[in-house]
């Protein structure tokens, strides 16, 4: 199958990955209502086509947090993403660099900060959760600085993991010990391409950033159990003082869906925020990001840089998000499907697709540059009210 779109890469990823790993990446929480809304509500945003606008050149470049980008796009952090391809985060950061955009490394990545830094030639972003062990957080931030990370993405919508039923059904969670290991091993054997590329040649199978605290207990069940115990549900806005004391670079708050929270982030000195519902993986039934974005952008867009993620599957979706008020867009499943299917080459291809699709949309909407994209390029917002 030749991939011509992000949805094609999703199918290729499904065919190649062990069932438990694909379900983890593809699924959401509970009944997955918000997961579906993220895609459907964004698709429902109608672009306003204009003709004879003399758009002979389209400029996709922008600038975010002091960094010049070729596209108004970044690769979002994906937990366990490096297990989809051999040393996957190393491949992803190289693909992002080739496209002239940032890569964001997850706290719970397969490859450690230092390993990704060795593969990178430019600064990348680092994503951090609030963890009970502040000394460990302090150490992670020091490692991120040493690795040359240029921005910190602080995720605030995961005080504890959401309930993801697909992970229970697939055997990723809820099947501890020998039986769980056996189920996952059998699923891996049924995918020989992945088993050879990642299972055998992609070792070590550890979560590099958590190795100092996980030690020998580095299996998937150990990781999931550690998350449940160590993520800090007592975290509040005052804890941003701790982050600011340890990090002097751009601070981006990820997981904002409410205008009041957006205003609080601006008041406390964040440099940016990401309108996000964690890809529909946390609290099911909350609004799609396409619905939450416009009022947040209107409320705080002059005070800090508003980004968005959730449901983005094409360059048209990127244009929609920017027209709704985002300054930039993070891709999540779009790049991880491609990495799982074809490694670095797949991610590079998806970013080229995004580029080409944006150029068509902007030309036919009469917007020659990213700065020209706005609400006037939308035909109808009534379906988002």
How many helices (H) and strands (E) the chain has is answered by: 16, 12
Name residues whose C-beta falls within 8 Å of residue 93's C-beta, 6 or more positions apart in sequence: 103, 105, 116, 119, 120, 124
The torsion angle over the Cα atoms of residues 21, 25, 31 and 32, rounded to 10 degrees, is -160
Are 26 and 333 within 8 A, CB to CB?
yes
**DSSP secondary structure of 76-145:** PP-TTGGGSSTTHHHHHHHHHHHHT--BEE-TT-SS-HHHHHHH-SS--EEEEE-BS-HHHHHHHHHHHH
In CATH terms, 6-369 corresponds, of 3.40.50.80, 1.10.3660.10, 3.20.20.70, 3.40.50.920, to: 3.20.20.70
Element (H, E) at 153: strand 151-155
Task: Tell me how far apart the alpha carbons of residues 289 and 280 are, in angstroms, rounded to a whole number.
Answer: 10
In this prediction, residue 211 carries a pLDDT of 76
Which residue carries 């391809």 as its tokens? 85
Task: Tell me how far apart the alpha carbons of residues 259 and 291 are, in angstroms, rounded to a whole number.
Answer: 12
Mean pLDDT is lowest, of 20-34, 96-110, 173-187, 337-351, for: 173-187
Are 265 and 285 within 8 A, CB to CB?
no
Element (H, E) at 347: helix 333-365
Known catalytic residues are 278
Task: Tell me how far apart the alpha carbons of residues 185 and 168 are, in angstroms, rounded to a whole number.
Answer: 16
Per-residue burial over 213-246, b if 16 or more Cβ lie within 10 Å, else e, is: ebeeebbbbbbbebbeeebbeebeeebbeebeeb
Mean pLDDT is lowest, of 44-53, 150-159, 300-309, for: 44-53
pLDDT in tens, 50-93: 888 777 899 999 999 999 999 999 999 999 999 999 999 999 99
Q: Rounded mean pLDDT of the chain?
A: 92
In this prediction, residue 224 carries a pLDDT of 67
Show the tokens assigned to 215.
Answer: 């030690």
Rg (CA), the chain: 20
Q: Is the pLDDT of residue 315 over 60?
A: yes
Mean pLDDT is lowest, of 8-12, 81-85, 108-112, 131-135, for: 131-135
Q: Please state the length of the chain.
A: 385
Sort 50 into a burial class: Cβ within 10 Å, 0-12 / 13-18 / 19+: middle
Which stretch, 152-161, 234-243, 318-327, has highest mean pLDDT?
318-327
């Amino acid at each position: 199958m030749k991939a011509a779109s992000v949805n094609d890469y999703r199918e290729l990823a499904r065919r190649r990955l062990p069932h438990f790993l694909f379900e983890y990446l593809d699924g959401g929480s509970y009944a997955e209502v918000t997961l579906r809304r993220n895609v459907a509500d964004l698709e429902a945003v109608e672009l306003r086509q204009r003709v004879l606008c003399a758009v002979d050149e389209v400029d996709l470049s922008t600038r975010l947090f002091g960094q010049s980008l070729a596209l108004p796009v970044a690769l979002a952090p994906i937990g366990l993403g490096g297990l989809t391809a051999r040393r996957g985060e190393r491949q992803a950061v190289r693909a992002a660099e080739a496209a002239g955009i940032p890569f964001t490394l997850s706290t719970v990545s397969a490859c450690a900060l230092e390993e990704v830094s060795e593969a990178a030639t430019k600064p990348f972003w680092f994503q951090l959760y609030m963890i009970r062990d502040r000394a460990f957080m302090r150490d992670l931030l020091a490692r991120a600085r040493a690795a040359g990370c240029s921005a910190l993405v602080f995720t605030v919508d995961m005080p504890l993991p959401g309930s993801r039923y697909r992970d229970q059904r697939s055997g990723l969670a809820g099947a501890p010990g020998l039986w769980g290991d056996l189920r996952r091993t059998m699923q891996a054997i049924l995918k020989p391409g992945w088993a050879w590329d990642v299972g055998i040649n992609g070792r070590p199978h550890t979560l590099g950033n958590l190795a100092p605290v996980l030690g020998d207990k580095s299996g998937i069940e150990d990781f999931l159990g550690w998350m449940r115990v160590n993520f800090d549900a007592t975290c509040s806005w005052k804890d941003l003082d701790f982050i600011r004391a340890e990090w002097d670079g751009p601070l981006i708050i990820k997981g904002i869906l409410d205008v009041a929270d957006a205003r609080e982030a601006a008041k406390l000195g964040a440099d940016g925020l990401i309108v996000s519902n964690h890809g529909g993986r946390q609290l099911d039934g909350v609004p799609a990001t396409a619905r939450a974005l416009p009022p947040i952008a209107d409320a705080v867009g002059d005070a800090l840089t508003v980004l968005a993620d959730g449901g983005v599957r094409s360059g048209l979706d990127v244009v929609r998000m920017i027209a709704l008020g985002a300054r930039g867009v993070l891709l999540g499943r779009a790049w991880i499907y491609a990495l799982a299917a074809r490694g670095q080459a797949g991610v590079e291809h998806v970013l080229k697709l995004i580029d080409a699709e944006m150029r068509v949309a902007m030309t036919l909407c009469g917007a020659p540059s990213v700065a020209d994209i706005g609400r006037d390029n939308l035909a109808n917002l009534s379906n988002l009210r």
